[in-house]
Structure 1
Amino acid sequence: MKTTSHRWWKWLFLLLASLNIITAVFLFFWISTEEPQHKMENNRHTNEEESFEEYLSIHMTSSQLEKLLNDELEGMDASIYDNHIRISSSYQLLGRTIQIFMDFVPEIHNGNIVLNETGFTAGNLPLSGSRVLSLMQQQSSLPSYIEIQSSRSRVLIHLDELSIADTYEVKAEMFNLEDDKITFLLGKTESQ
Structure 2
Amino acid sequence: MGIGKSKITPSINIDDMLKKAESNHELEAEKQDADKRLTEIREAKEALLKIHQDLLDAIKAEGEAAMILKTAIDSSDNIVNGICNAIIKAERNTRFKATIKSEHFAQLQELLNQAVKAWKTILENHRSEQMKMFSEHESNMRKILRRNEGVWFSDFWMKVLVIFLFVYTVVLGLVVYCST
Provide the TM-score with structure 1 as the length reference: 0.30
Higher strand share: 1
State the structure with bigger RCO (CA 8 A, min sep 6), 1 or 2.
1
- Structure number with greater Rg is 2
TM-score, structure 2 normalization: 0.32
